[in-house]
Chain A
Amino acid sequence: MAYSEKVLEHFKNPRNVGVLNKDAKNVGTGLVGAPECGDVMRLQIEVDEVTGVIHDEKFKTFGCGSAIASSSLATEWLKGKSLDDAMKIDNMDIVEELALPPVKIHCSVLAEDAIKAAIKDYQEKNGITANAANAEVSA
């Protein structure tokens, strides 16, 4: 199975690899997947406390090329987004952008889960309950 050009590009030059201080109040961390399943993603966001916008984001992923590309792309898309907008990132958008084949759709699902988990972690740390917009998305 050949990978799409976009997957190869993200795989060769992954964006935003690294780690943020998970104990910082303005950092949300999402760790999803399991080593036994062959993929683990850790995605972190740092939120500007004044504007409420994501201004830094890092990831590390254990997984195949599609999993790495999905999480790399996710961090790119998160930059500059409000949490409400970040919640709207849909795994099928990732599938489309990276031209993932059906057997790799789970990689995009994992990336979406990682985004939502990071946001949830940030919200819990800061005593924010999911607002109506979020509730709608997750419904």
Chain B
Amino acid sequence: MNQHRLIYLDNNATTPCDPRVVDAMVPYFYEKHGNAASRSHQYGWEAEDAVDYAREQIAALLDVEDKEIIFTSGATESNNLALKGVFEMYARKGNHIITLETEHKAILDTCKHLEKAGAEITFLKVKEDGLVDLAELEAAIKPTTILVSVMWANNETGVIQPMKEIAQLCEKHGVLFHSDATQAVGKIPTHPRETGVHLMSFSAHKMYGPKGVGALYVSRKNPRVKVTAQIDGGGHERGMRSGTLNVPGIVGFGKAAEIAKNEMQQDAERVSRLRDKLQNALIQLEETKINGNIDSRMPHVTNISFKHVEGEGLMMTFNQHIAVSSGSACTSASLEPSYVLVAMGLGDDLAHSSIRFSLGRFTTEEDVDFAVKAVSEGVNHMRELSPIWEMYKDGVDLTKIEWSAH
């Protein structure tokens, strides 16, 4: 077992760079080190050409115009730019923004920041399967609503929101639609123009590109959307995002987009078969539950609760060999379990018992077989240690016990 390499099943946290991406980037660190904004010499022209080419590669993946791609440092910055930029640019039209309780912190905390600046934010609950309730969304729209922000796919559960239906509601009420598509771009088709998404955030490092580079898609026509810049300076990126462009990162991002466009379908088919194999084997264990809608879900993700076992303790049984993440927050300073799972109506006990498995391009069949064995053994081991598993097996009604919450 010790000889086995560490198996990486945490691709929703970040993906390794594809070696083809790294190869494409290397020349731009030294030989072609120019600043894309240097207009007066060969180095600058070369860098500018490289950035233009990457922008085309990314635009091709999204089926949009290259000028609609604004480079940023990552999806968190893109989300900040989209929300704050729209709030400031459209202040005369209204101050109301609608989003979901299950969004990433980059959306939730940006919204809370905007609340202090005078925005009114509606945080919608989701259904038990993680999907937005379209009727509730429509009911929340009012004359002052300027923006709806809904993530394309959730990072913890992989649940894919009904993007077209949401876009239709936004269209009907004349509201802008932003999506944090970080977990979806490059893995499933994400065509914002065709779908009716006006702004879309995404990041290179979730699609086998490098960390530190992302983008915001901003629709240029029907409607022409503008956002107020949040970083002032040299007026790069059509004035929406100043700062010297991360040329090697952008080149890698472009290459990652090109590979994704060409290989998305075969990758998705292969990885969903492996995901299903992993999931089907693990739910053979007693008292397990898959979290989130399994019919509208990313091909590489499954989130499973193993009842009466605490997630972090469970991970400790195999984390020398397998990298996953847990919905239990015992690892962080806060002791609250996953707010995403709790928002889906999962009890705190089940949220504490959940593990997210996210496979990727480099996951092998052998990895999955090994993970099934190690996780199953871990669950059985932890249940032998668990007093509440013993009580459950003895037929004790756990809801009738007076627990001493602490």
Contact = CB atoms under 8 A, between A and B. Distances in A.
Interface residues of B, number: 31
Interface of A: 1, 3, 11, 14, 17, 19, 31-42, 60-65, 67-68, 103, 106, 109-110, 113
29 contacts: A1-B331, A11-B316, A17-B385, A32-B406, A33-B403, A34-B404, A35-B388, A35-B403, A36-B405, A38-B328, A38-B330, A40-B386, A40-B388, A41-B387, A42-B387, A60-B390, A61-B386, A62-B308, A62-B309, A62-B310, A62-B385, A63-B310, A63-B330, A64-B312, A64-B313, A64-B330, A65-B316, A68-B385, A103-B333
Given A62-B308, A62-B310, A63-B310, A35 B349 contact: yes
A113 B405 CA distance: 12
A23 B72 CA distance: 65
B153 to A, nearest CB: 27
Interface of B: 308-310, 312-313, 316, 328-333, 335, 337, 347-349, 352, 384-390, 398, 401, 403-406
B362 to A, nearest CB: 25
A32 B387 contact: no
Contacts of B310: 38-39, 62-64, 67
A136 B332 CA distance: 35
Contact of B335 (A32, A38, A62, A113): A38
Nearest to B404: A32
A106 B390 contact: no
Contacts of A35: 308, 348-349, 352, 388, 398, 403
A29 to B, nearest CB: 10
A19 B348 CA distance: 26
The 3 closest A-B pairs by CB, nearest first: A34-B403, A35-B349, A36-B348
A1 B331 CA distance: 7
A109 B406 contact: yes
A134 B352 CA distance: 35
- Point out which of B332, B404, B405 has the most chain A C-beta atoms below 10 A from its C-beta: B404
Given A17-B384, A60-B387, A62-B386, A103 B332 contact: yes
Contacts of B308: 35, 62
Contacts of A67: 310, 313
Contacts of A37: 335, 348, 403, 405-406
Given A31-B401, A38-B329, 20 more contacts: A17-B384, A35-B349, A35-B403, A36-B349, A36-B352, A36-B405, A37-B403, A37-B406, A38-B335, A40-B387, A40-B388, A41-B387, A62-B309, A62-B386, A63-B313, A64-B331, A65-B313, A67-B310, A103-B335, A110-B406
